[in-house]
Amino acid sequence: MKISFKHISYLLLLILGLNMTLTSCTSDLEVTPKDDDEFLSEDFFNDPASYKQVLAKLYAGLYVGGNDGDGSPDISGIGGDFSSYLRLLFVMQEVPTDEAIIAWADGSLPTMNTQRWAPNNEFLYGIYSRAFYEISIANEFLRQTSDDKLASRGVDASLKSDIATFRAEARFLRAFSYVQLMDLFGNVPITTENDPVGFYYPEQKTRAEVFEFVKNELTDLDSSLKESKTNEYGRIDKTAAKFLLAQIYLNSKVYTGVEKNNETAQLCSEIITSSGYSFANVPYRYLFSADNNRNGAQSEIIFPIVGDGNAIRATGGGMSFILHASIGGSMDAADQGMNGGWWGIRTRKEFVQTFPDVTATADVRGTFYTDGQNLDIAEVGVFTDGYAVKKFTNVNSDGTAAQRNDIPDTDFPMFRLSDVYLMYAEATVRGAASGNLTTAKDYINQIRSRANNTAISESDLTLDFILAERGRELFWECHRRTDLIRFGKFTGSDKIWQWKGGVKDGVATDSYRDLMPIPATAIQANPTLKQNTGY
């Protein structure tokens, strides 16, 4: 679904007939309701497009920053481009790990490279606020589409049926944001459409309580989301909910102290065998090309964050950030389908060394650009220190140009079927009763065959191998920090990489940094919030 999100933030305000401002003390929107009749006629509320545009705002919020991605803030104190959800998620999940390092010295950004962040880090405040902003919009959409509201507006039965699907998607997107908050910050408040609006202090919940809330939401959504592969491309179906549930089950030991490997394997098996999504038997690069919504890769992409150079005018958010920032040095931006590079993101030596060789002839997933780049990172701020990455491209898979070269068409593959294969294998190795090692090996070999890598045997299926294979298959797809924490290798001394801990050759970091600090600004606004240990 290539939706035009032009002026979508402003449409949201019109459609709901509300004045909205974010207040971090409530972790929800401070809303002043107005009489619907002041703004819009009953006929307007019977227009399916009105409700769908609000839903589009929720989807657009994963990509653009600010109002319409134009740089004007929709969250007080955070510039539009810097508040792009996908951009911030990339910074959180990739930059503190062995998979990425960024040259820029903006504000507190360098501390993300070194795991030396503090509660006053504006990028942590950005992701915290962006996630709660999405939750706030979802909550208000759900309030405005209750049975009572729809009945009072005389909404007809067919539109009510469509709105029921929209509500399920809004609940999924709310759950997705709660998963990010639970993963990054642990103990956070929960607000829903049943909570009051306006100024109040919502109760901070434990990480285990947030887990239980998300688990219940995703389980319940299996009865209300569209059947697998029956929704428009880019929108959520039942398989996306199963994927997210499997993902939190795989990380349950981290979140709650209780393993759920068997539940993980069972869900993954359901997705693989009966969802209708299929492993894309296309070259690996097709998955990250400008036409990955139609070149065969779409059979594998369960949840894309949709990009479109013409319809989604986000100059510094989402994939525009990932592509521009990964181009520099002697790279020709035109080869990547872009109009220039920002000399920012590269990868680190230790990650490169998980591949058979850096020329990518033994594994095509090693999309490293080495000409003029040093494997060793002597200076964090020098783009040519560290190999550059060409994984994502704004060129169609047949070599033709995308729609434009300043804003990419490339969709970001948030959930992929190959990740389901890897989750199944990991849960099986971790002891899932329903798992089968031979089946797990076959799934892994299917992935490796597409990558032009050698087949493995069952004896190769160790946790260390699976972590490395997850990196090779999924790097720069916003999984690495969570993966390293689950394997006990994000902090501490079990896995060291350059500039971990702020030292060139890397040092152990304190385990409390497995959780990010609750942003100081959020605590100032809501003094009932308790800071995470160590900060």
Q: What pLDDT was estimated at residue 364? A: 95
Q: How far apart are CA 390 and CA 377, in angstroms?
A: 18
Question: In this predicted model, which residue has the larger pLDDT, 359 or 385?
Answer: 385
Q: Are 115 and 96 in contact (CB under 8 A)?
A: yes
Backbone torsions φ then ψ of 177, nearest 5 degrees: -70, -35
Judged against a pLDDT cut of 70, whether residue 359 lies above it is answered with no
For residue 340, the SS3 value is coil
pLDDT of residue 34: 35
Q: Is the pLDDT of residue 29 over 50?
A: no
Residue 64 binned pLDDT confidence (cut-offs 50, 70, 90) = confident
Query: Comparing C-alpha atoms, which of 478, 1, 5 is closest to residue 226?
Result: 1
Confidence bin at 315 (pLDDT 50/70/90): confident
pLDDT for residue 48: 72
Q: Return the pLDDT at 40.
A: 41
3-state DSSP percent of the chain in helix, strand and coil, to 5: 45, 5, 45
In this structure, are residues 358 and 346 in contact, taking their beta carbons and an 8 Å threshold?
A: no
pLDDT at 32: 32
What six digits make up the tokens of 175?
A: 């759950």
| The pLDDT value given to residue 312 | 86
Q: Distance between CA 38 and CA 146 in Å, rounded?
A: 20
pLDDT at 14 over 60: no
- 226-266 pLDDT, tens digit per residue, is 999 999 999 999 999 999 999 999 999 999 999 999 999 99
Mean pLDDT of the chain: 90
d(CA 180, CA 140): 20
Q: What is the pLDDT at residue 49?
A: 82
pLDDT at residue number 357 = 81
The pLDDT of residue 83: 81
Tokens of 405: 């070269």
Q: Decide if 51 contacts 162 (C-beta within 8 A).
A: yes
Global pTM reads 0.93
Instruction: Give the confidence band of 50 by pLDDT, cuts at 50, 70, 90.
Output: confident
Q: What is the pLDDT of residue 81?
A: 67
